[in-house]
Structure formats: C-alpha cells, structure tokens
Amino acid sequence: MSDLLSFLSVPILIHVLDLFGTMAFAVTGAFKAIEHKYDIVGVIILSTITGIAGGVIRDVIFGKYPPTAFINPSYLILTVSTAIIIFVIYPRIKIHWNLFLKFDAVGLGVFTVIGASVAYHLFGMNILLMSFAGVVTAIGGGILRDVFVNDVPLVFIKEIYATTSFIGILIFFIMLSIGVNFNTSTIASILITTSIRILAMKFNWNLPRVRL
C-alpha cells in the first residue's frame, strides 16, 4: 500500500480522490431526490449539485475561475452516471437506508481532506485556511442537497458532522507538520475522518443541545 501511495503523484491522487468523493456525495443526492419523488431530471440535478457544490464554493472563494468541476467534464459525467444508476437500481436498494449514511460519511471524509489539501498547496501550512477549505468542501454540497428538498441540513442535527470534518483536518495538519508523506497523510486522514463519522452514527454521538 505504501509503495502504491509513493508511486502516485500528488495531482493524480487528489484528482482520483476528488472523483471518488464526488461519486459518494452524488449517491446521497440521488437517494434524497428519489425519496422526495423527483423525476429522472430532478435526480440528476440534485445528484450533481450534491457532488460538486462544495468544491465549486471553495474554488470561487479562493479565486479559481472557472471552478475545476466546470472545466473538467469527468465530474459531470460521473454525477450524471451515478444518478442514472441509482435511479435504476433504487427499488432493490431502497431498504438499505444505511447505504445513504455510509456514502455520506465517505464523502465527508474525502472532501474534508481534499479541501484542506487544496488550501495547503495554495497557501502552505495555514491551519485556518485549511480548516475553512476543508469544512466548506465537505459540507457545502450536503447542505444544498437538504435545503433543496426542504429538509433540515444533516450537518445541523445529526451526530457530530462538521466537528468530524475539523478533526480530520487537524489530523491531516499534524501529520504533515511532523513530516509524514503527503499521500500517506491524505489517505490516513480520510480513513480516520470517515471512521469517526461512522462511529458517531453507530453510537449516536452528539454535540450538546439546549434542553427545552
């Protein structure tokens, strides 16, 4: 595994992981759209918005025009393909609600570290910019997904979500600070972030709320 990570160049690794995260979040967008009885066009649109919105928001804020998702057709091809596949097979997988949550956790983990890595390559070891980019990339698409179907965004009500993203960014930052290889730091941080999110769902870890 370490040999493979060393073989992959940073741009290739980032692109592959970005596509993987896009697919994971696109799945959650398709699930939400189908549950709210959207037609095939609506499913494709919500899947695409969920998959690319976080990265687009990050790129616009950081002054990258046009955003990567608008100039590389692989992102749109991936979200459209994912939406169509989920639309077709949904009757066979609809009972597996945990599949939605698992893909959401994977998307959170991948986009958290991808966003932080973009800030790292642009601005160096700046924890504030890395945190901002990582969290925006991780939660932007999910918030829009939930708002568009008139649901309260998952990030505001379900277990630790944005906090998980920040923990993943902090781990990524610490690993880079102590000299761990970039590729290894990236994969390890994604796995840890995703695992924390899955454990939070399993054991219902929540931040404190006001008792009414």
Residue 212 within a domain: no
pLDDT score of 18 more than 70: yes
Do residues 206 and 160 touch, judged by C-beta distance below 8 A?
yes
pTM of the model: 0.90
pLDDT, one tens digit per residue, over 151-172 is: 988 888 766 888 999 999 999 9
Residue 209 within a domain: no
Q: What is the pLDDT of residue 82?
A: 97
Residue 124 within a domain: yes
Residue 44 within a domain: yes
Do residues 146 and 49 touch, judged by C-beta distance below 8 A?
no
The crossing angle, in degrees rounded to 10, of helices 182-203 and 162-177 is 150
**Banded pLDDT at 201 (limits 50, 70, 90):** confident
Residue 15 within a domain: yes
**Distance in angstroms (rounded) separating the CA atoms of residues 119 and 115:** 7
pLDDT score of 2 more than 50: no
What would the DSSP string read from start to end of 92-135?
HHTT-HHHHHHHHHHHHHHHHHHHHHHHHHHH-S-HHHHHHHHH
Residue 86 within a domain: yes
Query: What integer is the mean pLDDT of 127-137?
Result: 97
Residue 45 within a domain: yes
Looking at the structure of the chain, the number of domains it has is: 1
Residue 208 within a domain: no
Q: Which domain holds residue 38?
A: 2-203
Q: What is the pLDDT of residue 10?
A: 67
Cα dihedral 33, 36, 40, 45 sign:
negative
